[in-house]
Amino acid sequence: MLKVFLNPGHAPNGNPDPGACGCGLRESDVAAQVGHLVESYLQKAGCDVVTLQSDSLSEICDAANEWGADVFVSIHCNSAASEFARGVETFSYPGSIGGRDVAGCIQRQIVGAFGEIDPDFPDRGLKEANFYVVRNTDMPACLVEMAFISNEEDAALLKYHADDFARAIARGVTDYEQAIS
């Protein structure tokens, strides 16, 4: 049974850190909603899941490492100064093959799902970054930036298609599970 650790980004209830805010949405709220849906879908698929939203990055990484997770997924909304920035991108730690593999599975599922909902939704691709949560976890880890909360079209997708994001993330994790089996 795959042990999946989910981390909806930023502080619970947005206190003290709601993350990015835009178009009437707060990142912490969107991430929590999607995270709980992902948890439900993964449990139905037979995965063992722990979800932790916290403003302490060290607490998050310590919890994932101590639990012995097989996979770590941090769920976020992107933001940019330009209101025209759009799309999904998924990050892994530089040189982490497992992290890149799980990131790729999730990225493909989101791009596939949203290509049907919004044909103009951009695939910003797989990226590498030195983010704390992908650097300090002992298992394949990725951070998914689902869409830009600072863009009206993307914000509408986050608001009205949270379930589609959640299903795509869960399918990406189960795709990864099948690939490593």
pLDDT at 126: 99
Which range marks the domain in which residue 80 is found?
3-180
pLDDT at 61: 99
Q: Does residue 153 carry a catalytic annotation?
A: no
- How many independent structural domains does the chain possess? 1
27, 39, 145, 177: the active-site residue: 145
16 upstream amide cis, omega within 30 of 0: yes
pLDDT at 170: 99
The pLDDT > 90 percentage for the chain reads 97
Task: State mean pLDDT over 113-130.
Answer: 97
pLDDT at 72: 99
135 to 58, 77, 92, 121: CA distances (angstroms) = 11, 19, 8, 29
pLDDT at 155: 98
pLDDT band at 173 (very low <50, low <70, confident <90, very high): very high
pLDDT band at 51 (very low <50, low <70, confident <90, very high): very high
DSSP category for residue 57: H
pLDDT band at 63 (very low <50, low <70, confident <90, very high): very high
The CB density around residue 144, as the number of other CB atoms within 10 Å, is 28
The pLDDT > 70 percentage for the chain reads 100
Element (H, E) at 29: helix 27-44
Classify residue 74 as exposed, middle or buried by CB count within 10 Å of its CB (0-12, 13-18, 19+): buried
What is the CATH classification number for the domain harbouring 107?
3.40.630.40
| Parallel, antiparallel or unpaired: strands 141-148 and 3-8 | unpaired
pLDDT in tens, 65-75: 999 999 999 99
Amino acid (one-letter) located at 54: S
Amino acid (one-letter) located at 74: S
pTM above 0.85, yes or no: yes
pLDDT at 36: 99
Which residues, in sequence order, are CB contacts of 71 under 8 Å at separation 6+? 2, 3, 4, 5, 102, 139, 140, 141, 173, 176, 177
